[in-house]
Amino acid sequence: MADVEGLPIRCRDAEVVRDGTRLVGAVDLTIERGTLTAVIGPNGAGKSTLLRLLHGLVAPAKGTVQWGTHDRRPARQAMVFQRAVLLRRSAAANVRYALHLAGIRGSEAESRIAETLADVGLRAIADRSARVLSGGEQQRLALARAWALRPEVMFLDEPTASLDPKATRAVEDIVRDIHARGTTVVMSTHNLAQAKRLATDVLFLAEGRQVEHTPAARFFTSPRTSEAAAFLEGERL
């Protein structure tokens, strides 16, 4: 990852507004290289919106987002959405499509496809149509498509929300592996146990506000705010 330049991501007093409603506000944070940040919070807290803001899919109505020294989102980012959006073509062709858009073609693309599909355990079904795969396989393929780009930062929007425990474990293993290989990960999740298992940092949101952004170990043992403590208590019940 020698040519990285989209990190750290700095958000300064950013606010996202849609149709006159503030979805997320008062976001002031820095995503450092090499972290795995779990974005947690109750329903409607603005987790997905925040990920889209950090990925550059939505522009802040107020404040700024900066990727490294850039004001525009750099190319080497990828996002996996809660519901995998796969093209109506084979698993391999889905990965190939992303690589072609990134300017990677020919034998380099083909070897990257084979390698990445093997990484997520889908090598054997590379030629199968993506839309007929199981939910877990589709999510792994979405991860593979994102990972094939070897992104500097990967955003994951509740990637295991609709998966069974086995598929969830498989996705977690892949996320852990991707992070271990040097990719910075920002992942929203409803699953506190998952956040504990994976995250180095926790970003806690409530009602569209950033409440805490702290190392995961500290957040789960001694949250700084009463809101976070109450949320953790509620989750334990």
Q: Which residues bind another protein (CB under 8 A)?
A: 52, 55, 57, 75, 77-79, 81, 85, 87-89, 97-98, 101-102, 129-132, 145
Give least dist CB 208 to another protein, A: 20
* Cβ-based nearer residue to another protein, 153 or 216: 153
Could you give the CA distance from residue 20 to residue 117 in angstroms, rounded to a whole number?
Answer: 43
User: 169: burial class by Cβ within 10 Å (0-12, 13-18, 19+)?
Assistant: middle
* Cβ-based nearer residue to another protein, 87 or 232: 87
Give least dist CB 70 to another protein, A: 15
Give least dist CB 24 to another protein, A: 16
* Cβ-based nearer residue to another protein, 30 or 134: 134
| Cβ atoms < 10 Å from Cβ of 30 | 13
What is the chain's Cα-based Rg?
Answer: 18
Return the closest-CA partner of residue 116 out of 87, 94, 84: 94
* Cβ-based nearer residue to another protein, 83 or 181: 83
Give least dist CB 219 to another protein, A: 28
Return the closest-CA partner of residue 139 out of 162, 109, 165: 162
Could you give the CA distance from residue 213 to residue 237 in angstroms, rounded to a whole number?
Answer: 23
How far are the Cα atoms of 145, 184, 186 from residue 101, in angstroms, in the given order? 12, 22, 23
* Cβ-based nearer residue to another protein, 98 or 186: 98
